[in-house]
């Protein structure tokens, strides 16, 4: 016996069989050729095949993704680090639907030290890889302005925008400004400050911005003592003022560790479909800055994967050197750890391997808890802003009651309800209505003209409607619901539930039977009976009645259209296309019957028009 497989599935199986074992990036595309997911792997064959093995263990989001994969494309790289960087670039370019989305940092401010003979320091929101030294991005511009003011109070950095080339300085093209006279600048524009001295000051500022205040204070103290020994008291006094300013800055930094070492601390707080990641930058045991990033479209993504996504995003976008230790809230997935470790080690000045630690007790665990507390705070603010914008609805008593009655894992914010309609097995249609936060969302209503069977078969009708909604392009256009409601009893509910399982979807299903208003759930013998005053029952009735109304309306429209077409096509010489043109132009059969020969000719042609005109105006027959 020969089994015929669909061409797409056969091609997919052949692709899986020939995948390489090299590191690289894989891209999943749907039937329309759109890339819907991008991932990286140490071993492409093992990683990609894992999506198609043991599918029953997949989360809901992954199961939906796998059901839409029509083709696979891979790009082989020479290392896991290259794969990580390429994956990041492709996600930014393609914005695949099923990848976790991270808020773009382009709106965040940076502190830049320009790549010039006499560098300038200023705040900008436009990051460019132009050879300049960048610090950030910072989440709060006010914090950044304080840092800039501090630098200006300690170091005489120029604030002008002059291009101080050797030729311009030698030609005395520029003149000192007020900053020189109030000792805020040493006048490099007129050659009053050597380039070597200015560049040494810039190196000290870089050391300060990296949090190395102790080393900088030691160096400046040694310079001050040397100047004093040389009887250069004015220069020694200037250095003393710098040292005092640095000490005041160091005192303002929060000491979070008794160990004077450098480390980054990561934590992620996750919600239903959003998350927030926070990183603490600790230098010499002091917290010198933090940054938070929002992650959306997270679905049921495990916390370790969210943590890895946040870390990859942070380190690929941040040009700072990497500390020797990175503290994490949880262990990273095995396939992510090695690539991240290699990337971070390559960005260290000494090229040492970075340590990943997951502290459980003591001071380090307290740091993780503090980082997580900040992440939860930012996520709470983010969700509050979404509510204010109307993106997240307040919980309603009906939805909360429904969640309890049906023992749902999450609040049924989005409910989709199906109903069938037909007349003695003809013009079979199905409708799907959508309620979001307990209210109709008509832009997400859908109607189906059923074609996969003949005669009267409610089970086949339900199977076709559910299949068409939760597969193909409709499954990608619309979000997955929190509850699927069926206008029907036990049999139809079980058919819908079984169809969803065949599609690889684990969605809650319930049915509302008309006769006694009983609520059925899959694989349970007895229905639920709710009081007539129950808000949950009233919501289900509203959904069921709206789906019934929508199905009946569509069914009547099809019947009327078919009846009208039958009358026109019963006239000799009038085909389906001509009948459609006439109805579209005149609006009704009655208007067609009253039209003049010339009016009919302009739409359907002379010969067809004469047949119609004779039928309505002659002896009652097109042949009369």
CA 18/CA 12 separation, integer angstroms: 10
If asked whether residues 231 and 180 sit together in one domain, one would say yes
If asked whether residues 112 and 226 sit together in one domain, one would say yes
Residue 368 lies in a domain: yes
pLDDT higher at 617 or 371: 371
If asked whether residues 190 and 117 sit together in one domain, one would say yes
What pLDDT, on a 0 to 100 scale, did the predictor assign at position 139?
60
296 close to 379: Cβ distance less than 8 angstroms: no
If asked whether residues 112 and 64 sit together in one domain, one would say no
Q: What pTM was computed for the model?
A: 0.52
Which is it for strands 483-486 and 509-512: parallel, antiparallel or unpaired? parallel
Residue 506 lies in a domain: yes
DSSP helix/strand/coil, 593: helix
What CATH number does residue 268 fall under?
3.30.420
If asked whether residues 280 and 228 sit together in one domain, one would say no
Residue 623 lies in a domain: no
Among 524, 523, 519, smallest CA distance to 540 is for 519
Average pLDDT, integer, range 438-448: 87
Reported as a pLDDT band with limits 50, 70 and 90, residue 257 is low
Average pLDDT, integer, range 555-584: 69
447 close to 432: Cβ distance less than 8 angstroms: yes
Here the tokens at position 556 are 């009547």
CA 461 to chain centre: 35
Listed range (222-231, 240-249, 373-382, 564-573) with the worst mean pLDDT:
564-573
**DSSP run (H or E) holding 134:** strand 133-135
Residue 624 lies in a domain: no
- 287-308 burial: b if 16+ Cβ within 10 Å, else e: bbbbbbbbbebbbebebbbbbb
pLDDT per position as a tens digit, 273-287: 889 999 988 877 777
123 close to 82: Cβ distance less than 8 angstroms: no
CA 219/CA 479 separation, integer angstroms: 60
pLDDT per position as a tens digit, 101-130: 876 444 567 788 898 889 998 888 777 777
If asked whether residues 65 and 141 sit together in one domain, one would say no
Which is it for strands 101-102 and 286-296: parallel, antiparallel or unpaired? antiparallel
The terminus-to-terminus CA distance of the chain in angstroms comes to: 61
Domain boundary among 230, 253, 276: 253
If asked whether residues 150 and 194 sit together in one domain, one would say yes
CA 545/CA 446 separation, integer angstroms: 15
Residue 622 lies in a domain: no
Residue 302 lies in a domain: yes
Reported as a pLDDT band with limits 50, 70 and 90, residue 166 is confident
If asked whether residues 344 and 377 sit together in one domain, one would say yes
What CATH number does residue 605 fall under?
1.10.150.20
Residue 447 lies in a domain: yes
Domain boundary among 79, 99, 119: 99
CA dist list (Å): 31 to 61, 63, 466, 469: 18, 16, 19, 16
Please give the residue range of the domain that contains residue 584. Answer: 570-617
Residues 6+ apart with CB under 8 A from 163: 116
Residue 258 lies in a domain: no
pLDDT per position as a tens digit, 291-329: 888 988 887 788 998 999 899 888 887 766 688 889 999
If asked whether residues 244 and 323 sit together in one domain, one would say no
CA 449/CA 276 separation, integer angstroms: 44
Residues 6+ apart with CB under 8 A from 299: 59, 60, 61, 273
Here the tokens at position 288 are 């010198």
Domain boundary among 48, 75, 99: 99
459 close to 495: Cβ distance less than 8 angstroms: yes
**Residue whose structure tokens are 């289900």:** 540
If asked whether residues 319 and 351 sit together in one domain, one would say yes
Where helices occur in 350-457 by DSSP H, the ranges are 362-388, 397-406
Could you give the number of structural domains in the chain? 5
If asked whether residues 382 and 403 sit together in one domain, one would say no
If asked whether residues 158 and 243 sit together in one domain, one would say yes
What CATH number does residue 87 fall under?
3.40.1440.10
């Amino acid at each position: 016996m020969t089994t015929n497989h669909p061409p797409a599935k056969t091609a997919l199986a052949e692709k899986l069989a020939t995948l390489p074992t090299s590191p690289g990036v894989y891209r999943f595309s749907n039937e329309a050729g759109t890339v819907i997911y991008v991932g990286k792997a140490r071993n492409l064959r093992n990683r990609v095949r894992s999506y198609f093995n043991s599918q029953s263990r997949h989360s809901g989001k992954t199961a939906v993704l796998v059901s839409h994969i029509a083709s696979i494309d891979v790009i082989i790289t020479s290392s896991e680090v290259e794969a990580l960087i390429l994956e990041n670039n492709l996600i930014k370019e393609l914005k695949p639907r099923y990848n976790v989305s991270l808020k773009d940092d382009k709106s965040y401010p940076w502190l830049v030290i320009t790549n010039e003979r006499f560098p300038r320091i200023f705040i900008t929101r436009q990051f460019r890889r132009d050879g300049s030294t960048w610090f950030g991005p910072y989440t709060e511009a006010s914090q950044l302005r304080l840092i800039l003011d501090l630098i200006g109070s300690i170091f005489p950095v120029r604030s002008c925008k002059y291009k101080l080339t050797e030729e311009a300085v030698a030609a005395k093209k520029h003149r000192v400004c007020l900053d020189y006279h109030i000792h805020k600048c040493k006048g490099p524009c007129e050659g009053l400050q050597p380039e070597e001295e200015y560049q040494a000051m810039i190196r000290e500022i870089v050391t300060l911005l990296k949090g190395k205040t102790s080393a900088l204070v030691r160096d400046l103290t040694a310079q001050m003592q040397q100047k004093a020994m040389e009887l250069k008291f004015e220069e020694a006094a200037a250095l003393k003022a710098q040292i005092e300013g640095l000490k005041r800055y160091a005192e303002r930094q929060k000491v979070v560790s008794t160990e004077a070492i450098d480390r980054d601390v990561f934590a992620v707080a996750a919600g239903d479909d959003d998350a927030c990641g926070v990183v603490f930058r600790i230098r010499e045991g002091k917290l010198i800055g933090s940054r938070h990033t929002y992650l959306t479209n997270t679905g049921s993504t495990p916390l370790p994967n969210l943590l890895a996504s946040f870390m990859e995003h942070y380190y690929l976008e941040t040009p700072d050197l990497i500390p020797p230790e990175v503290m994490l809230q949880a262990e990273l997935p095995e396939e992510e750890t090695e690539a991240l470790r290699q990337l971070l080690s390559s960005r260290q000045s000494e090229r040492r391997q970075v340590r990943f630690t997951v502290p459980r007790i003591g001071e380090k665990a307290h740091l993780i808890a503090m980082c997580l507390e900040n992440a939860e705070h930012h996520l709470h603010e983010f969700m509050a802003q979404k509510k204010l914008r109307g993106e997240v609805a307040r919980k309603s008593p009906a939805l909360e009651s429904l969640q309890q009655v049906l023992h749902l894992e999450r609040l049924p914010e989005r409910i989709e309800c199906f109903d069938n309609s037909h007349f003695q097995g003809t013009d079979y249609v199905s409708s799907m209505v959508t309620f979001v936060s307990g209210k109709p969302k008509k832009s997400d209503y859908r109607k189906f003209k059923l074609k996969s069977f003949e005669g009267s078969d409610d089970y086949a009708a339900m199977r076709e409607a559910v299949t068409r909604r939760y597969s193909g392009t409709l499954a990608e256009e619309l979000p997955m619901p929190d509850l699927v409601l069926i206008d029907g009893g036990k049999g139809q509910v079980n058919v819908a539930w079984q169809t969803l399982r065949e599609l690889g979807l684990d969605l809650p299903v319930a049915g509302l039977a008309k006769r006694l208003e009983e609520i059925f759930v899959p694989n349970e013998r007895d229905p639920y009976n709710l009081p007539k005053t129950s808000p949950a029952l009233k919501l289900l009735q509203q959904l069921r009645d709206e789906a019934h109304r929508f199905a009946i309306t569509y069914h009547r429209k099809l019947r009327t259209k078919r009846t009208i077409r039958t009358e026109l096509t019963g006239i000799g010489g009038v085909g389906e296309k001509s009948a459609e043109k006439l109805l579209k132009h005149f609006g009704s059969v009655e208007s067609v019957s009253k039209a003049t020969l010339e009016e009919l000719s302009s739409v359907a042609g002379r010969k067809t028009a004469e047949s119609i005109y004779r039928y309505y105006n002659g002896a009652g027959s097109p042949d009369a």
